Amino acid sequence: MASLRIEDLWKSYGAVQVLKGVSLSVGEGDVVAVIGRSGSGKSTMLRCINGLEQFQKGRIEVAGHMLDGSHSGLRELRKEVGMVFQSYNLFPHLNVAENIKLAPRVVKGVGKAECDEIVVQVLARVGLSDKAYAYPDELSGGQQQRVAIARSLAMQPKVMLFDEVTSALDPELTGEVLLTIAELAKAGMTMVLVTHEMGFARRVATHTVFMNEGKIWEEGPSEELFANPRTPELANFIAPDLK
């Protein structure tokens, strides 16, 4: 069963065509890594999936919600589709627990006792049980990113989207965030990750998509795709990581 289906997606900014007929299917429990050079359309595709960008043509169905390029139904969609960005976007005046409780309380109307239980559960999942009452500026970048992941998990999403979540972090902090995502993968969370971490894509993603010039250039099981690239564009892109 597909948790996400994209059919013939086209997106432009004025005269600049960014996505050119993208089609993709993601099954329940799949972990899909999206790789490619800057400007290839990776992040734009992710933002279309979550309704952050309108598109001109095509169809997206995610977690049972249909997107047609308009803004209708986005509130219901975002209850079930979580997204984590490169910047953590935590509210600096709220502590970790308050940051996590905000969306379940406001969007879903979850009560105080249940919110408190959700905080305990999601912080345990990201390895930050002792940071509930810390403020964002008291945390490292890696910890802040893990709180951002916990905040998305608090909404109990069916699909999680990650947009270059480690690109602002140093290698040590990158490792702790990727470990958290790997644990979510083991637990069966359906995920789509735009990433430059080739080793992580190869090891953890069930499926890898290589985007080039606004199109899906190659896709397939991760190990197979990295071991046997079929096009020179992918071979050249991953070559530095294979040395």
Q: What is the pLDDT of residues 129-180, one digit of tens each?
A: 999 999 999 999 999 999 999 999 999 999 999 999 998 888 888 999 999 9
Contact predicate 42/194, CB 8 Å: yes
Chain-centre distance for alpha carbon 62: 13
For residues 99, 104, 107, 111, the Cα torsion angle rounded to the nearest 10 degrees is: -120
CA gap 14, 33 in Å, rounded: 28
- Res 72: pLDDT: 67
Using CA atoms, how far apart are residues 69 and 146, in angstroms rounded to an integer?
A: 31
Q: Does 90 share its domain with 74?
A: no
pLDDT at 146: 95
Which of 127, 156, 185 terminates a domain? The answer is: 156
Do residues 51 and 108 share a domain? no
Q: Are residues 33 and 54 in the same domain?
A: yes
Give the CATH number, domain containing residue 202: 3.40.50.300
Q: Are 33 and 191 in contact (CB under 8 A)?
A: no
In this structure, what DSSP letter does residue 165 have? T
Same domain, 8 and 33: yes
8 Å CB contact between 23 and 135: no
Using left for φ > 0, alpha for ψ between -120 and 50, and beta otherwise, residue 13 falls in beta
Q: What burial class does residue 163 get, using C-beta atoms within 10 Å of its C-beta: 0-12 exposed, 13-18 middle, 19+ buried?
A: buried
How far is 19 from 45, CA to CA, in rounded Å? 7
Could you tell me the residue range of the domain that residue 111 belongs to? Answer: 81-156
Asked whether the beta carbons of 33 and 219 are under 8 A apart, the reply is: no
Domains contained in the chain, number = 2
Tokens at 212, concatenated: 């080039």
The neighbour count for residue 72, using CB atoms within 10 Å, is 12
| pLDDT at site 220 | 96
Which residues of the chain register pLDDT less than 70? Answer: 69-72, 240-243
pLDDT at 243: 45
Both 92 and 49 in a single domain? Answer: no
**What does the pLDDT read at residue 116?**
95
- Domain identity same for 85 and 152: yes
